[in-house]
Structure 1
C-alpha cells in the first residue's frame, strides 16, 4: 500500500470511529433555514453540535432557546440547549474544534444574474485558516457543478494539507422544504458526492447517521448537478403552467380547472401550479447557476433560461391584471391603496427570500399606488438585498376596516389560518394569484383570478 493511501486510511479510520460512536463534534456554519434543522437532526442522532453564524443577534437568540422558525418546534432547540448538545457561536476561530464542518451559507445571484459565491469563499477561507488533519468539510449550499473542486479544494489545500489524505471534502446538497410536515431533515434521503473514496466514505457515514438514507454518487460535481436538476425540473414545469395560464386566460379557460382535471390521470401527468412568480433560495436561482456554467462549455441551456425568463416576468403579468381589474371599477391605479395578502414566498412559513410579493409591492408603487401588506408570520419586513426600501414596513391587521379601506386585495401567498371569508365579505376587489378563494368555496364578481 502506498504511504499516502495508508496515511489517508489511518486518518479516515479515526474519524469514522468517532462518527460511529457519536463522539464527533459536528460544526454547522450558517444557522438559517438549512443549518438549524440540520443541527437539530444531528443532535437527535446523538452528536454534539457547535453552530456558527455571523449574525450576533441570532447567535444570542439561539443560545437563549429562541430564534427557531415557525415550522421548527421551539422545544426541540430548548431541549438541545438544556442537554448541552448544542451551542451557537460567532467566533470563527473555533472552526478547528469540530470534527466535521458542514457549510450551509447563502449562494445568491448578483444583480446581473451571475453566481455570487462570496459567502462560500469567505467561509472556505475561514475554515482553511483553522483546518487541522482529520477534519471532514462538507458544502451543502446550492451551487454550480465544479464549485467543490474549483473553489473549496484550493482554499483548503493552500496551507499544505491534502484533501483525501490529511483532510476530507464532500458535497451534499440540502433538500429542505420548510413548512412541509411530511418530510423533516432526517426523513429526506441525502445525496453525497466526493472526489476521493475516503471523503465519500466519511460523508456517507455522517449523513447515514442523520438521515433515513444516503445516496452516494461518484463525484462532488455529480452531487452538485443533482441539486440543480431537482430544482430546474420544478422551475421548468412551473414556467410551463405559468405560460399556459396566460394562454388559457386569453381563451377564457380557467387554468386551475384544467390542472385539477388533468391531475385525475393516474399516470403520465404531474400537477404543477401557476403563481405570481417564484420565491425562496432555490428555484428562482438554481437555473441561472447552471446556465452560467454551461456558457463556459459553449453549450446553450435554452429551456433552463427560458423558464427563468417566464417565471421572472410573472409579477409584471399579475400587476397588469391588477391594474386592469381596478380600472374596471372606475378608479385609476395611481393613488390606489393595495393590500398584498401574504409576504412569505410560500405558505405557512416566514421566509421572504426572493419572495415575488416584494417585487409586486415595488411594481405597484412604481405605478403610483400605495402597497400595504398583511402576513401573520412576517410582522415586520426584514432588510433584503434586492428591496432595501421596503425594510421595516409592518403587517397591517386583517380587519373589516383594513379590507374595506383598500381599493384591492392582492392574494400573493395562501397561508392557512387566514380568514378568507372575511376577505370576501369586506374587500372591494380581490385579485387571487393562488386560487385560494375558489378552494375555499368563495366566488363572486369582486374576485378575479390572476
Structure 2
C-alpha cells in the first residue's frame, strides 16, 4: 500500500479524517450526522445561507434529523468552499435533475467537481452519492477532478456510493440501510469501504463504479415500472367496476411471488420520476431501446390528467357544473405521506391542472404550511395552507385527496358536504363512510 493511501486509510480507521459533505438536503444532512456519529469531524457545505444558519443554530430542517441529534453530532456548516482543503474525505450529495428534454442535468455535479478541484489536497477520497447513469463517475466526475493536477489512484481517490434515503421511513435510517460502494480504482474502493464501514452497519462493495451506478438506477426503475403497472391496472379494473385496492390487498396475501405496489395520482420524490430516464438517455447512445422504462414514464406522467378528468366528472355529476370557477380542497401536497418533502410532488401538477381548468384551489397539509421554493411551479412559492379549523360545509365543490398524511382529520372531510375524490384509498382504510367518495 502506497504512502498516501496508507495514511488516509489510517486516518479513516481512527476517525481522524475530516469529512466534508457537499449538499445538505435530504441526503447530505442525514449522512453528515451519521458520519459524525461514526466518529468523524464533519463539515457540511451548501450554497443556501438559510441552511447554514439553521445548522449553526442547532435547528434541523429534515424530519429524519431531530434538533437534538444535530446538536449532539457537532456537525458544522459553511458556504466557504475553500475549507474543502481541510477535508480528507469529500462526499457529493447534490441534485441530478432532468432538463426540459428529459436528458440528465449534471450541472450541479460538474460545478461541484470544479469547486473541489480548485481546493483539494493530495491524499483525499472523493465520493459521489448523487444518483446518475452508469459511467458518470468515470466519464464526468473523474476528468474534472483530474484538472486539480492530482494523480487518480495515488494522490486522489474517487468512488461512488448511491444514496438510499427514504424520507418518512421510520423502519430504516442512514446507518441501518446497507451501503453499496465502488471505487474508480481498487485503492479508492478499499478506502470508500473503510469510510462507510464506520458510518453504516453494512457495506456491500461491488466491482466498479458503473455497477454501483447501475444498482441504484435498477432499484428505482423496478419501482417505477411496477407503479406504472398498477396504475394501468387501476384504469382497467375501474372500467370493469373492480376495486383495485381490494385486488391488491387480496394478492398481497400470497406469501411468495408477489410484492404489492399501490396506485396514486402520479410519481413524486427525488428518485423515481427522474432516475429511470437517466438510463434511457444513456441507452440511446448504445442504440438499445428501453421500452419498459419509457412506457412506465408515459403512464405515470399521465396519471394527474386522469385524476383531474375523474374529478371533473364527479363535480359535474354532483353539481351540474365543471371545474371552471369551482373551489377545490386539495388534501396533502407533499410527495408522500408523513413528510414535508415537496420534490416532484404530483400534487403540484394537480394544482397546476386545476388552475388551467379555471378552478380555485385551497390546500391543507400538516407538514407543508407554506409551499417552499421549487425548481418547477415557482408560481406557487409561499402559498400558505388553509387552516383546517376554518373549513366549512358548502364551501367546496369537491375534496381531492392527493397525499394521505396520518395527521389529517379524514372524518372531518366527510362533514364538508361535498364529494371526495380519493387517490390514496385513505377514506376506506379508515372505515369512513364512502357514499360520497370516489376512488381514483
TM over 0.5: yes
Find 1:54's aligned residue among 47, 64, 68. Answer: 47
Determine if the alignment matches structure 1 residue 344 to structure 2 residue 334: yes
Picking from 3, 13, 16, the partner of 2:9 is 16
Q: 1:185 maps to what in 2?
A: 174
Q: Which moved more, 1:155-164 or 1:351-360?
A: 155-164
Using the TM superposition, give the Cα deviation of residue 149 of structure 1 relative to its aligned residue in structure 2, in angstroms: 0.5
- For residues 65-92 of structure 1, what are the alpha-carbon distances to aligned partners after superposition, in whole Å with 9 as ceiling and x for unaligned? 1133233212101222xxxx31000111
| 1:160-205 deviations in Å (ceiling 9; x for gaps) | 2111111100000000011111101000000001121100000000
Q: For residues 282 and 132 of structure 2, what CA distance do their matches in structure 1 show?
A: 10
In structure 2, what is the Cα distance between the partners aligned to 1:447 and 1:347?
Answer: 20
Q: Structure 1 CA distance, aligned partners of 2:57 and 2:426?
A: 38
Would you identify which runs of 4 or more consecutive aligned residues in structure 1 move more than 6 Å? none
- Shift of the 427–20 alpha-carbon distance from structure 1 to 2, 3 Å rule, reads farther
Superposed CA offset, 1:28-62 (max 9, x none): 00000000000111111111100000001111111
Pair 1:295 & 2:292 matched: no
SS of equivalent residue, structure 1 residue 431? strand
Which residue number in structure 2 is paired with residue 411 of structure 1? 401
Q: 2 CA distance for matches of 1:170 and 1:87?
A: 24
Aligned equivalent of 2:164: 175
- 1:427 deviation in Å? 4.3
For residues 409-437 of structure 1, give each alpha carbon's deviation from its aligned partner in whole angstroms, at most 9, with x where no partner exists.
11000001111111122241110000010
Contact 2:428 2:434 in 1 (8 A): no
Contact 1:437 1:443 in 2 (8 A): yes
CA distance in structure 2 between the partners assigned to 1:108 and 1:189 by the alignment: 24
User: Helix, strand or coil: the match of 1:159?
Assistant: coil
CA offset at residue 400 of structure 1?
Answer: 6.1
**Is the Cα–Cα contact under 8 Å of residues 107 and 116 in structure 1 kept in the other structure?**
yes
Q: Deviation at 1:402?
A: 4.4
Partners of 1:112 and 1:427 in 2: how far apart?
Answer: 43
TM-score by length of 1: 0.96
The aligned counterpart of 1:334 is: 324
Do 2:157 and 2:184's aligned partners in 1 also have CA atoms closer than 8 Å?
no
Q: 5 Å matches for 1:300-311?
A: 300-311=289-300
The whole-number CA distance in structure 2 between the counterparts of 1:152 and 1:162 is: 14
Aligned match of 2:71: 78
Identify the residue that residue 434 of structure 1 maps to in structure 2.
424
CA distance in 2, matches of 1:25, 1:328: 63
Paired with 1:93 and 1:63, the residues of 2 have a C-alpha distance of 18
Say if 1:409 and 1:427, in contact at 8 Å, map to a contact too: no
2: CA distance between counterparts of 1:259 and 1:357? Answer: 23
Paired position in structure 2 for 1:210: 199
> Take 2:30 and 2:202, find their aligned partners in 1: how far apart are those partners?
17
Shift of 1:14: 0.4
Shift of 1:445: 2.3
Asked whether the 8 Å contact 1:138–1:203 carries over to 2, the reply is yes
Q: 1:370 aligns with which of 345, 360, 380?
A: 360
- 8 Å CA contact 2:113–2:145 kept in 1: the answer is yes
Task: Indicate the RMSD between aligned Cα atoms, in angstroms.
Answer: 1.1
Q: After superposing the two structures, state which structure 1 stretch, 404-413 or 115-124, moved more.
A: 404-413
Q: Quick one: distance in 2 between partners of 1:380 and 1:208?
A: 39
The 1-side partners of 2:65 and 2:326 are apart by 38
**Which residue in 2 is equivalent to 1:30?**
23
TM-score normalized with structure 2 length: 0.98
| Equivalent residues of 1:284, 1:354 under 8 A apart | yes
What is residue 164 of structure 1 aligned with on the other side?
Answer: 153
Cα pair 1:65 1:77 within 8 Å, conserved: yes
SS at the partner of 1:235? helix
SS in 2 for 1:187: coil
SS class of match (1:185): coil
Does the Cα contact within 8 Å between 1:71 and 1:349 map onto a contact in 2? no
1:3 corresponding residue in structure 2 = none
How far apart are the structure 2 equivalents of 1:50 and 1:383?
25
Q: 1:324 aligns with which of 287, 308, 313?
A: 313
Aligned residue in 2 for 1:269: 258
What are the within-5 Å matches in structure 2 for residues 126-137 of structure 1? 126-137=115-126
**Contact 2:47–2:79 (CA under 8 A) maintained in structure 1:** yes
Structure 2: stretches of 5+ with no match in the other structure: none
> How far apart in 2 are the matches of 1:58 and 1:161?
32
In the alignment, the residues of structure 1 paired with residue 26 and residue 148 of structure 2 have an alpha-carbon distance, to the nearest angstrom, of 32
1:399 Cα deviation (Å)?
2.9
With over 3 angstroms needed to count, the CA separation of the structure-2 counterparts of 1:102 and 1:395, relative to structure 1, is same
2:244 to 234, 238, 255: 255
Among 80, 83, 87, the residue aligned to 1:94: 83
